Structures are given as C-alpha cells and as structure tokens.
C-alpha cells in the first residue's frame, strides 16, 4: 500500500489563513513538521499529527508565547528561565523572556500533508511515528518530540512517499533535511521500518 504525503506550506506568523473557508481548507486531519529555523540553516524539528491542523499549529505557538515551552536563543541553545516551582518567578522575568518567546514564534513554521491528499486518516499515528524515526536518523539534533510513538501493527507492506510539488525549492530543501527524499518502507513481516536513507 502506498501513502502519499503531499507537502504544503509553510504556515507561519504573517501568513496564517484568516478567512473561514481558507482556515477550514487546512484545519483537517494530517501530519506536520513544526520547524524552528536558526542562523546558519540550522533547524529544530517537531513531528506531529492532528485531526485539526490549524488548531494544533495555534496550540504550538500559544505554548511558546505563554512561556510553557522551552525557548532557544538565536544559536539554537535552550535558555533556562522557567522556575518550575514558582511560575510567578518566571513571569517576573517577562521583560527578558518575552522578546525571546516572540523571536521563537517568528522563526516557527509549519509544513503539512493533508490526509485527503493521499492517505487515510487511520494512518496518522503510523506516519507520524515513521517520520519521527526518519528525522531522528537524519537530523543533527533530535526532534523536540518527547513521547515515544507506537506505530501499531500492520498486516501489509506500506510505503510512505513524499510529494514536494506544492512547496517551493526552499520548502523542499527544509523538508528533505528532516525526512529525506526516499520512501519509508514498512515491511509487515518484520513489523518495523526500513530506512532507505
């Protein structure tokens, strides 16, 4: 079975859809890459899936701006500011950390593949798990995903194929750096994936 990821994007601050129809067009089931791009073409990735993509993008940015997610400086280094025992201590540092949160939000962008374009939504978790595993193998720094994703078991071979025709050359290069270009092959007999990269 072939599952096609027709990549789209980026969606980021400054180009989020605002019209109801445009929002609805992408607020659907799909997989996504949340990328934070830093100087010297370095990136931090997060691989995810959601039944409502735009809503999930909003959650990511809201967590950044509300200081509930690790912030990084321009060189990609995590900044320790959160006092986990006293949230008010962090809020007392808002003058210093607020601008950093805004910078992180501005460098964050989302590339996504809608289920309706090439795969059944029942495969969201499988695709997310395989993309995360691929990113862990290709990227210098592991994705920010904390949880382990169980892809489940399948009784047939699956090939996850990326289609880059809806993104520009810059987008294609960014996505390729995270998930590569070759299909991800999942062999049912072994119940594990084979990474061709």
Q: Which tokens go with 132?
A: 């995360």
pLDDT in tens, 130-140: 999 999 988 87
Structure tokens at 28: 């659907």
Q: Give the predicted TM-score (pTM) of the model.
A: 0.88
Q: What is the pLDDT of residues 13-49, one digit of tens each?
A: 999 999 999 999 999 999 999 999 887 777 889 999 9
Instruction: Tell me how far apart the alpha carbons of residues 131 and 51 are, in angstroms, rounded to a whole number.
Output: 17
């Amino acid at each position: 079975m072939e599952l096609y990821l027709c990549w789209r994007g980026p969606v980021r601050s400054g180009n989020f859809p605002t019209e109801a129809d445009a929002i609805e067009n992408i607020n659907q089931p799909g997989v996504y890459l949340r990328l934070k791009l830093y100087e010297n073409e370095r990136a931090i990735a997060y691989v995810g899936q959601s039944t409502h993509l735009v809503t999930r993008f909003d959650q990511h940015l809201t967590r950044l701006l509300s200081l509930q997610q690790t912030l990084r400086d321009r060189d990609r280094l995590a900044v320790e500011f959160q006092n986990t025992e006293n949230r008010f201590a962090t809020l007392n540092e808002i003058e210093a950390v607020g601008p950093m949160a805004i910078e992180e939000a501005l460098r964050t962008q989302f590339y996504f593949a809608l289920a309706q374009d090439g795969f059944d939504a029942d495969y969201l978790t499988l695709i997310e798990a395989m993309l995360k595993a691929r990113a862990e193998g290709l990227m210098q720094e592991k994705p920010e995903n904390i949880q382990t994703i169980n892809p489940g078991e399948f009784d047939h071979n699956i090939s996850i194929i990326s289609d880059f025709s809806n993104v520009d050359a810059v987008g294609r290069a960014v996505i390729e750096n995270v998930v590569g270009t070759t299909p991800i092959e999942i062999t049912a007999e072994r119940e594990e994936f084979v990474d061709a990269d």
